[in-house]
């Protein structure tokens, strides 16, 4: 039955009204894939003409009509069940029944799956770009603070002194993995389902690899049922965004706490004031960054929940699976950009950080390590320093604290401290800067170790930036190829 067969009109009329019509329609939400659908229509039409399935002159009319539809915009589309039907109707309105030939050898099932992938890959690359910019900001600021001592915490309690550089590079490492996850997800998104038809393929002599090439996909999802029904790529993309958002939330939380303690001051561009209390400087952008994580986690969970009970092939539930993923990707990208700006412009109070670095006897582990390196079993050293911690206060000088360690040593072992290490070495280990400098193992906070990690991080960033550029170049080249092929018919 062709599109100009009267029977088609009868069938459409039967399903065109009723109270559920608006509920069924996804036309408004499909604005996100309007441009993608036009690209898919063009590539499919070019392929149909190349294979002799549609006459070249008719293909030219269809492609010209698609140009008109694009110029008019999504808001000018006629009412329809979805953007795919609305665009097809708009083309038929312009050139007559032959407009329906562009839907030959495909279904809305493979069409929408292709449109979603076409759009999502752009969103993922935008998020990747934002992560690279954030990592660059972290590395740049870290390079300025390799010797800026700061307190390190576990359980929100003073633990060991570290440096601002070492702290920031911990987030660069985490966000680098987020970049990897996004690029991995992109690789699996960037496969074309087009040509799978409803789910069981088509008898027409189509070329699926050709449409994949014209749309910039790296290949096809080969099994036609898998191609039309799979939405695991949405789950993977939303989960990668949610994982990044969770990393950002941790960074935002830290900076909010550091702001509260007076360790940092946010730039005015990334803060706001109270409507009633003029002295306030609130870390609002970071609080919103933290909040985006909840939305992203909810989206990932919702996507997986929607997919978990579906039988194979297409189900209408899938209509609800994609629009909010685009929104979350955009929100996470924006949050990443805000985090990069906040990190790049924050002012670290080096004096306040240095004063706090030794609070809570935070160099205690260094003293225990020193005793162990002097030949004492570490567990015994741990007991000695734990005993000393009961009496050492933040007001004690290094000499006074060392004396208390000596007293605890005598209490636990019956020997003086000097039987294991010198009093001078203990006093040095009690100094936060010296404690940091002593921890120069690979990945540690000592300045030399941090310099190595800065160099490694810079190389990783350059590598990921090159991958991003290659993917963008590939998509741009495909778009140019499609434009050139379309021009042969229009």
Which token pair is 346? 């924050």
| From 56, 267, 274, 305, the catalytic residue | 274
Give residue for tokens 């309007």: 34
In the residue annotation, 259 being an active-site residue is answered as no
Q: State the Cα–Cα distance between residues 39 and 228, nearest whole angstrom.
A: 18
Query: Contact at 8 Å (CB) between 182 and 124?
Result: yes
In the residue annotation, 274 being an active-site residue is answered as yes
Query: Contact at 8 Å (CB) between 299 and 242?
Result: yes
The contacts of residue 67 (CB under 8 Å, 6+ apart) are 490
The contacts of residue 37 (CB under 8 Å, 6+ apart) are 30, 83, 84, 87, 111, 115
Residues recognised as catalytic: 155, 274
């Amino acid at each position: 039955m062709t599109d100009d067969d009267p029977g088609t009109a009868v069938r459409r009329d039967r399903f065109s009204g009723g109270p559920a019509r608006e509920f069924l329609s996804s036309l408004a939400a499909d604005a996100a894939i309007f441009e993608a659908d036009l690209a898919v229509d063009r590539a499919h039409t070019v392929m149909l003409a190349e294979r002799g399935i549609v006459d070249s002159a008719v293909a030219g009319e269809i492609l010209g009509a698609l140009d008109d539809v694009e110029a008019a915009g999504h808001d000018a589309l006629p009412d329809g069940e979805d953007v795919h039907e609305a665009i097809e109707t708009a083309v038929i309105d312009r050139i007559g029944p032959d407009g329906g030939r562009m839907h030959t050898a495909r279904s809305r099932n493979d069409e929408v799956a292709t449109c979603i992938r076409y759009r999502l890959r752009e969103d993922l690359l935008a998020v990747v770009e934002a992560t690279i910019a954030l990592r660059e900001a972290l590395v740049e600021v870290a390079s300025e603070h390799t010797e800026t001592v700061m307190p390190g915490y576990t359980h929100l309690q003073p633990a060991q002194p570290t440096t601002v550089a070492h702290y920031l590079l911990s987030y660069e490492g985490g966000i680098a993995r987020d970049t990897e996850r996004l690029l991995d997800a992109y690789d699996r998104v960037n496969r074309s389902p087009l040509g799978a038809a409803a789910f069981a393929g088509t008898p027409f002599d189509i070329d699926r690899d050709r449409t994949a090439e014209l749309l910039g996909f790296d290949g096809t999802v080969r099994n036609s049922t898998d191609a039309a029904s799979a939405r695991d790529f949405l789950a993977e993309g939303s989960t990668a965004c949610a994982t990044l958002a969770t990393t950002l939330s941790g960074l935002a939380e830290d900076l909010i706490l550091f702001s509260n303690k007076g360790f940092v001051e946010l730039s005015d561009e990334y803060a706001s004031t109270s409507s009633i209390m003029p002295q306030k400087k609130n870390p609002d952008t970071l609080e919103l960054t933290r909040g985006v994580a909840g939305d992203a986690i909810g989206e990932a969970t919702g996507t997986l929940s929607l997919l978990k009970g579906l039988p194979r092939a297409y189900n209408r539930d899938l209509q609800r699976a994609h629009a909010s993923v685009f929104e979350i990707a955009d929100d996470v990208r924006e949050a990443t950009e805000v985090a990069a700006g906040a990190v790049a412009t924050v002012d670290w109070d080096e004096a306040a950080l240095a004063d706090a670095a030794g609070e809570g006897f935070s160099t205690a582990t260094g003293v225990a390590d020193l005793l162990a390196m002097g030949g004492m079993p570490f567990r015994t050293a741990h007991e000695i320093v734990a005993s000393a911690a009961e009496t050492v206060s933040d007001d004690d000088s290094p000499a006074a604290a060392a004396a208390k360690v000596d007293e605890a040593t005598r209490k636990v072992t019956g020997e003086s401290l000097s039987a294991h290490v010198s009093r001078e070495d203990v006093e040095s280990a009690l100094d936060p800067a010296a404690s940091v400098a002593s921890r120069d193992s690979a990945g540690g906070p000592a300045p030399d170790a941090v310099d190595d990690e800065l160099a490694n991080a810079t190389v990783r960033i350059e590598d990921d930036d090159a991958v991003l550029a290659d993917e963008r170049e590939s998509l741009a080249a495909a778009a140019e190829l499609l434009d050139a092929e379309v021009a042969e018919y229009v």
